[in-house]
A and B are shown apart, each in its own frame.
Chain A
């Protein structure tokens, strides 16, 4: 075999092992890198979606233990941990019963003595039991729960009762038959009914604390007002609101009376009929005390709020929402003590509802006939007791009751508002504040910010790109293009800073000047161009090769300067504000604009934003569009020039159609930059989530909103998850826009494809 024909040196066809190894290694590195990038993008997406999904979960309720109280409770209350409910049957004892370890503690009602309780009511928010006695006295006690830490890791709930003063009623006669106690720190009000039928009388007691240097001061009666004369029918339900100023009385003729109790006394403000002449079988205030939920005898349920403004600025009750009707049977109701959720139901029905969004969070049944119900302070446990004293505890899992499609994307009727609106206001100053989580103002803000940014950037960037690609001599272009590219690398926080602290104060007083410059500058350019065409060809040929701009520049500069200086003159001629009070005429655009258009004028507005965003967006659009135009094959531009087309005709007939898809991409990338831009938006726009196109006020964009609020949102809260939802919406917006743009771009490219 050795003499068989063989190539003399077969090694010359070999590939070195190192080359092969390196080739394979790089192949794997690139594969790994690519897959890792794809996975991390999906990972981010997964994380964001995971944060958002719980917002759209309904409430979950499951049975979590039961206990036998052994009394027939009329009132049930519970500690904030949901461990040790107490039961009160209207007698002289209060019974505490632990859910797990079976501890039972019985207290005497403090300060009652031998007196007989004839009426009582319980306010779970303040944990206060109001008592009315057969001898015509009213009083109250507060149920306090403490926690005792005995051994390390072990603790137990320790209840106690705190007595409050008794007040003897002066008006009316007979035993107290109904009462309600409303308190918010200083202002307290008690509404009391004595007797029944024809003899019934109703009084409103206003209480207050005497100021004292040490301690809380003594609670004293300020006045007792007999409101019986103002009642036309026998009162059925009395309710005093948690803020201590609103008293609602449902009477037997189906009317509900609204009394306002404040430092100037107690007065009837309004009488309304929520269900015609049907008497509400249930009426309770929601958390915050400005809305009440009422149920008609036939199960219809609706919410009435203080929102209708009268001419003297006072608010009256009006119907704001109707909920799905309840079924047959006695109605149970338990309001949450921290938000606008309430649990209600007829018979064994249990329905958890949220008043702000009007949504039913959960609909189900419980397996006893409740006579007393309560929601614990955290809203995590629902207790229901039947007449035998059997008490069941239900764990309620509803961490995001105020969320839902309607709350995020629909108009919502918030408490106190005159109509349903889109509003974003995620945090507020008081405990009873309800978050307003509509994303619509933010989506609008993103669109508005983008629109104004692009309105300023697109014309400038595209005209500059055309000028640079088709008119400028190469020597100038070599300078212009890198300068534009450096512009795009300016950090947006610097631009935002300049916009907010330097540009905004300048533009604030110079709006007429800016308007004039925007007119005189381009007008000067057009006029110089017109003039130029009328110059003899000998003169024009001296500036051939694209250097004509040297001639135009001084004219534009001069005209812009003139426009800037003439701004105040324009202002004094046109933008004259007439002071309605003194009749004085002031030449000030800032005052004139709101007076004439009814829109506001803010220092940080869309105009400032448009200018500053130009620095961020123009270089992006310019660079890509310029490349697209410059890459139009020379053979086409030369052919068109050789056929006698002038430079503008070459641009219009050949360059623009061929480069259209590239220019389109440039616009889309500019759009993406503008939509996602955060720092300039945060610093230059004032961040007010308004929904109007007014150029002289700002906006709050989705991106800016996330930047501003995410650091303050507690992890896992509704607010936190809503911000992530905002991120998804932002992503969806750009995704949809980019997809549409890409389809259009492909079509443009196919249409103008060059073989």
Chain B
């Protein structure tokens, strides 16, 4: 695959997601140290770094999924489009509706393809048939899955291949038209061909969503992200345009990591 690095769109907001001096603790163990980064709108931002560096933790804080874990606390703030995630008047449920999420292992529900896609609408209490049908077609088309499943929308989601299931999860995440799409190593469980399709999809989706993706695969970061952040031991080491970070890293740790001296 050729390196297609798109240029960012000029009207996008440069600090759509603002991570402001953010630290995070699992019980006594500190996982993130004073992270500061501005993630621009309608771009793909990749988080890379060795295992345990905190990139997934950071991602999961962007829709407060870490609240589901017992005994966590944080310092600092994360703002989505200007509103703090931790404002006392933030309803975490509606927050999560603004932020879609795709997980490492594809995890469709034990329901039909159709019902998987409209899940977020159903839990929001929307059951207009026309709206649901329209959402299914739009989301599956956006996830590049429509042509493959349009004849078996009411079959079980488990009948799909791994790559298709992951694209279904993407369709499910974007069905409610969130502002942000978080992807936690979305291709880790997929074969190269399926990975390719997802990567193409990510770039297409970036036109409509702000995407933050965690990846282990540096090739992937170069192929489908506009910006890349390198985290190491819970600290943000370097954050820059992807090409710049890979071609001319400023920090020696970045250089060491991307040249494969440690992982």
Contacts and interface: CB of A to CB of B under 8 A. Distances in A.
Interface string B52-64: 0000000000010
A16 interface: no
Interface string A174-198: 0000000000000000000000000
A44 interface: no
A635 B110 contact: no
Interface in A531-545: 536-538, 541-542, 544-545
Interface in A626-656: 633, 635-646, 649, 653-654
Given A635-B103, A644-B123, A658 B70 contact: no
B176 A644 contact: yes
B107 A636 contact: yes
Nearest to A654: B109
A752 interface: yes
B256 interface: no
B70 A640 contact: no
B123 A649 contact: yes
Kindly state the interface size class of chain B when it binds its partner. 20 to 34
Contacts of B120: 643-645
A754 B96 CA distance: 24
A633 B106 CA distance: 12
A637 B96 CA distance: 13
A639 B107 contact: yes
Contacts of B107: 633, 635-636, 638-639
B93 A644 contact: yes
B65 A644 contact: no
B103 A638 contact: yes
B67 interface: yes
A411 to B, nearest CB: 49
Contact of A536 (B65, B71, B89): B89
Contacts of A419: none
Given A544-B67, A639-B103, A645 B123 contact: yes
Interface in B85-114: 88-94, 96-97, 99-101, 103, 105, 107, 109-110
Nearest to A650: B123
Nearest to A637: B68
A222 B217 CA distance: 118
A475 interface: yes
A640 B109 contact: yes
B110 A657 contact: yes
Contacts of B122: 653
B4 interface: no
A683 B70 CA distance: 44
B123 A643 contact: yes
Contacts of B92: 544
B146 interface: no
Contact of B105 (A474, A635, A640, A658): A635
A27 interface: no
A657 B156 CA distance: 15
A538 B90 CA distance: 8
A649 B121 CA distance: 12
B103 A653 contact: no
Interface string B167-179: 0010011001000
Interface string A470-494: 0001110000000000000000000
A641 B96 CA distance: 8
Nearest to A752: B110
B123 A753 contact: no
A646 B88 contact: no
Nearest to A541: B88
Given A544-B67, A639-B169, A646 B93 contact: yes
- Candidate in A638, A643, A649 with the most chain B CB atoms within 10 angstroms: A643
Interface residues of A, number: 33
B193 to A, nearest CB: 20
Contacts of A536: 89
B26 interface: no
A640 B119 contact: yes
A537 B90 contact: yes
A653 B123 contact: yes
A24 interface: no
Contacts of B169: 639
Interface in B104-144: 105, 107, 109-110, 119-120, 122-124
B158 interface: yes
Given A641-B68, A643-B173, A653-B123, A541 B109 contact: no
A755 interface: yes
B192 to A, nearest CB: 21
Contacts of B172: 639, 643
Contacts of A104: none
A751 interface: yes
Contacts of B97: 643-644
B51 to A, nearest CB: 19
Contacts of A754: 110
B90 to A, nearest CB: 7
Contacts of B94: 644
A542 B88 CA distance: 8
A643 B119 contact: yes
Nearest to B95: A644
Given A538-B89, A541-B89, A638 B65 contact: yes
B263 to A, nearest CB: 25
Interface in B149-166: 158
A637 B119 CA distance: 13
Nearest to B110: A752
Contacts of B65: 638, 641-642
A543 to B, nearest CB: 12
A638 B104 CA distance: 12
Contact of A537 (B67, B91, B158, B173): B91
A646 B123 contact: yes
Nearest to A644: B97
Contacts of A642: 63, 65, 96, 99-101, 173
Contacts of B176: 643-644
Interface in A705-755: 751-755
Contacts of A537: 88-91
B229 to A, nearest CB: 21
A322 to B, nearest CB: 62
B70 A475 contact: yes
Given A537-B88, A635-B107, A474 B70 contact: yes
14 contacts: A538-B88, A541-B89, A633-B107, A638-B65, A639-B107, A639-B172, A641-B96, A642-B65, A642-B96, A642-B173, A643-B96, A653-B122, A653-B123, A755-B158
Given A541-B88, A638-B68, A657-B110, 12 more contacts: A537-B88, A541-B90, A544-B67, A544-B92, A637-B68, A639-B107, A640-B123, A642-B96, A642-B101, A644-B124, A645-B123, A654-B109
Interface of B: 63, 65, 67-68, 70-71, 88-94, 96-97, 99-101, 103, 105, 107, 109-110, 119-120, 122-124, 158, 169, 172-173, 176
